[in-house]
Structure 1
Amino acid sequence: MAAVDISPATALHRRARSRTASALVYEGREISAAQLDDTAAAFAAALAEQGLRRGDRIAYLGFNSVTFFETFLAAAHLGAVFVPVNFRLAADEVQHILVDSGAHTLVVEEGHRELVESVLGEVPARRHLLVDTDPSCPATQAPPAPWIPLSELLGAGRAARERAALHDADLAMLMYTSGTTGRPKGVMLTHGNIWWNAVNVDSVVDTRADDVNLAVAPLFHIGGLNALTLRTLLRGGTVVLRRGFNPEQCLDDLVRYRATSFFAVPAMYAALARVPGFGTADLSALRSAIVAGAPVPPQLIRDYGERGVLLQQAWGLTETAPFATYLPAGLTLEKTGSAGTAMPYTEVCLTHPGTGARIHDVDARGEICVRGPNVTPGYWNNPDATRAAFDDAGWFHTGDIAHRDKDGLYYIVDRLKDMIISGGENVYPAEVERVLDAYPGVLEAAVIGVPDPKWGETVLAVLTCEPGTEPTVDDVRDFAGRELARYKLPTRVLIAERLPRNASGKLAKAELRRWVEQQTASTH
């Protein structure tokens, strides 16, 4: 039997013929599936003329935009590989990604051009395209060589090319990890990985063909792109797309467009809840509100539950495209804090971090491992990292620590590498943070280990607070001591205006540690 074509370009073309609803509402401008399909096809023809071939890499650097989707779909049209680049990275990090991926073509928004120009001498890309077709992007004058305005490329009226048939093993994207433990690694995601995640989501989440999905999380992040947004766009719904996250605008969009699905990280949901008017906003249409990407404070889930919004916690990584587990809405309040059970077409297990032995005991902690058609085949140009991540049975070792309750539901404890060892006892920061998040007047809490001559390491907490709230270390220890063992309690507390986060909304612990070191140095 012939393999089925699962190309997103083919799916969009099919949708363009059968559905009339707007595919995108981008910064207030409505774009039909037919318009998006036509532009992507024209872009693909132009890229082919510029030498882009099947398997070549095309990188995109810019904020959320319709051009992001046009580039992704044009790449799929040709069977090329899309490389979305984190727009918050420094020049050296961008250079690494462009060199490591061997990008043939760069598509860059004005505002990021100067950063790219600073590293072009080291980047082997052959074509450099500057976005000038989007009125929501910064305006640009006629760019200097080697830049080609995108409008010039799209305006030549070339004949459309036949869409490449794409199957499970065909490479779709290289998504580079945040690089918190060194140079970013290129996660290879196949069209099968992307397609099977959509099958998983549509099997257990209340998604429908006519969904209205609000997309404000960064699209270069797998959660922003493939949790809900891509499946909505290709299946027939409407994606309300914003260039970035603004809490006030986000709340207005949820109400105005009657959004039915929404993905965000916990920090975004917390910011949304602080918007004046949140308590009375009509969110009755929102039935699939998924939270993932960082540890989720149970108090946040309870707060939304009181508003009638059931946050559905999921868990996964870039390498799992993104979801491996999911907690249905019906269990949100009964199993608050759980990341749910394995997705229907994904296997999950726990193993001992040292020996790799399977863990079957209830509530025993171990490294969570994943296997299934949504899991990456490995890391681009990095066979050592691929071998280190997969065992002989094909299980991907995630580096996350979890436990499983008597009902088979998983609870993510923390990253293995963030674990604090105090007096020989393991302390997981996320466990302490969940308790501190419930302290009255505390907005956010972050915990790290700091050196201690007696215990090796002890716990330090950094808090952001409402005006007038400034708890002492004794206050915090008294409060947290009701739920935590003494060795898990903070021995120091620092108050900060904000917690550093990366573009995906995850806590940037390396940056936080540098800030703590500076605060410590200034007090001595």
Structure 2
Amino acid sequence: MKSEPRPSRFWEILRKGKVTEMSVSPTLLRELIEYYNENIGDLPSEDRDKYINGAKNLQRVYTSGSVLDPSTRQLFTNLTNVPITNAYGITEMGGGVTITPDNSALEEGYIGTPLPGTTIKLSDGDRGEILVKSSNMFIKYIDDEAATRAAFDDEGFYKTGDRAHRVGDDYYFDGRVSCDWIRFHEYTINVLELELRLADLPYISEAHVLPVLDHETGGLVAALVRLRKQTANQAYGDISLRHLREDLAAKNMASYKLPTLLRVLRDDEQVPSTASGKVLKNESLRKYFNISGYLSDQYAADGVEYWGNKLDTAASTRLFDWGGL
């Protein structure tokens, strides 16, 4: 399919029952579920079942390109009874690096085990930057020896720039070294963790956490979210930044991790992304928060709520929160 396909188009193809394998980004998988809930789920059973029965001809669904939310995976599996395989891969390795085994548990960040012929090590033992070697990997950047030397360690493993941790033979994705961690005062905030917690809120259908540079604190959390369409049975009212923070705190999220900026997307607004579904975070900050570079001292933007950059004295002081340990 061409880039940026519409969920409606996917469902019409699935309804015909001729597709047996499908590879999509987690973003598109979530959009397929949302489209079903908003446009197909309330159809007469005879019409609705045509879509479900067609989708059940799928034998396998693959996702890659960003983190797969366990709740999204569970919802699609419950809907279609089709197993979902999550993969982690990078272009420099010629594609796949790890893949989740059949019938694996629905765990946050789980990216599976190495593919045959692929060797992985982590920079700090059982955690750290993902370093990869395989027979399919690229060998150099053309006419750029300095970049080539910087891309590999002393043993010839490619430095992916991604972080993970290992439990036994299983790997769990922890984020991109350069952009998935926010330093707020003396604390470190895991962007992926917060995105998953936001997505778990019943009134949010899409959530993105954008790091904002701040001279005083180091970094702030901007939340860019889309609300679920309200129905007679599910009315959430207006969602404010205070409401959002209180709901996250009620789920035992430490107060220093809570968003300090909020922008709610309108129905006609789309988040800038690559063809593979990866969010362009800097562009999103410029477009929806009017932020380029560091946050200004007198920041204000239409449609954006700002909490401020002071550290809440009620923040957890557990030792393992310090420095992201």
Q: TM-score, normalised on structure 1?
A: 0.49
Q: How much does 1:246 deviate? A: 2.5
User: 2:95 aligns to what?
Assistant: 322
Q: How much does 1:401 deviate? A: 1.3
User: 1:445 aligns to what?
Assistant: 207
- How far, CA to CA, are the matches of 1:316 and 1:484 in structure 2? 30
1:63-462 pair list within 5 angstroms: 216=1, 218=3, 245-275=5-35, 276-277=39-40, 280=49, 281-282=52-53, 283-307=55-79, 308-333=81-106, 335=107, 337-351=109-123, 358-360=124-126, 365-405=127-167, 407-418=168-179, 419-452=181-214, 454-462=216-224
Q: How much does 1:277 deviate? A: 2.8
- How far, CA to CA, are the matches of 1:522 and 1:474 in structure 2? 17
Any gaps of 5 or more consecutive residues in structure 2?
A: 42-47, 231-235, 292-298, 305-325
- How far, CA to CA, are the matches of 2:66 and 2:143 in structure 1? 28
Q: How much does 1:516 deviate? A: 4.1
Q: How much does 1:435 deviate? A: 1.0
Any gaps of 5 or more consecutive residues in structure 1?
A: 1-215, 219-243, 352-357
Count of paired positions: 272
Q: TM-score, normalised on structure 2?
A: 0.76
Higher helix share: 1
Q: Is the aligned partner of 1:480 residue 2:248?
A: yes
Does the 8 Å contact 1:301/1:336 carry over to 2? no
In our comparison, the structure showing a higher alpha carbon Rg is 1
What amino acid sits opposite 1:500 in the alignment? Answer: P
Q: How much does 1:461 deviate? A: 0.8
- How far, CA to CA, are the matches of 1:484 and 1:314 in structure 2? 28
Runs of 4+ aligned residues of structure 1 deviating over 4 Å after TM superposition are: none
- Ranked by relative contact order (alpha carbons within 8 Å, sequence separation 6 or more), the top structure is 2
CA deviation profile, 1:263-284 (whole Å, cap 9, x unmatched): 1111111122223337742222
- How far, CA to CA, are the matches of 2:242 and 2:300 in structure 1? 22
1:490-505 pair list within 5 angstroms: 490-497=259-266, 498-505=270-277
CA deviation profile, 1:217-265 (whole Å, cap 9, x unmatched): 65xxxxxxxxxxxxxxxxxxxxxxxxx6222221222232432211111
The RMSD of aligned alpha carbons is: 2.3
SS at match of 2:165: strand
Quick one: structure 1 residues 375 and 479, their matched pair in 2 at CA, closer, same or farther if it must change by over 3 Å?
A: farther
CA deviation profile, 1:104-155 (whole Å, cap 9, x unmatched): xxxxxxxxxxxxxxxxxxxxxxxxxxxxxxxxxxxxxxxxxxxxxxxxxxxx
- How far, CA to CA, are the matches of 2:122 and 2:252 in structure 1? 25
- How far, CA to CA, are the matches of 1:397 and 1:217 in structure 2? 31
Q: How much does 1:373 deviate? A: 1.3
Q: How much does 1:350 deviate? A: 1.1
- How far, CA to CA, are the matches of 2:82 and 2:253 in structure 1? 29
- How far, CA to CA, are the matches of 2:95 and 2:254 in structure 1? 34
Q: How much does 1:309 deviate? A: 2.3
- How far, CA to CA, are the matches of 1:264 and 1:415 in structure 2? 20
Most deviating of 381-390 and 445-454: 445-454
SS at match of 2:138: coil
What amino acid sits opposite 1:385 in the alignment? Answer: A
- How far, CA to CA, are the matches of 1:284 and 1:312 in structure 2? 16
Does the 8 Å contact 1:217/1:504 carry over to 2? no
Q: How much does 1:454 deviate? A: 4.4
- How far, CA to CA, are the matches of 1:345 and 1:299 in structure 2? 31
Does the 8 Å contact 1:436/1:480 carry over to 2? yes
What amino acid sits opposite 1:515 in the alignment? Answer: K
Q: How much does 1:437 deviate? A: 0.9
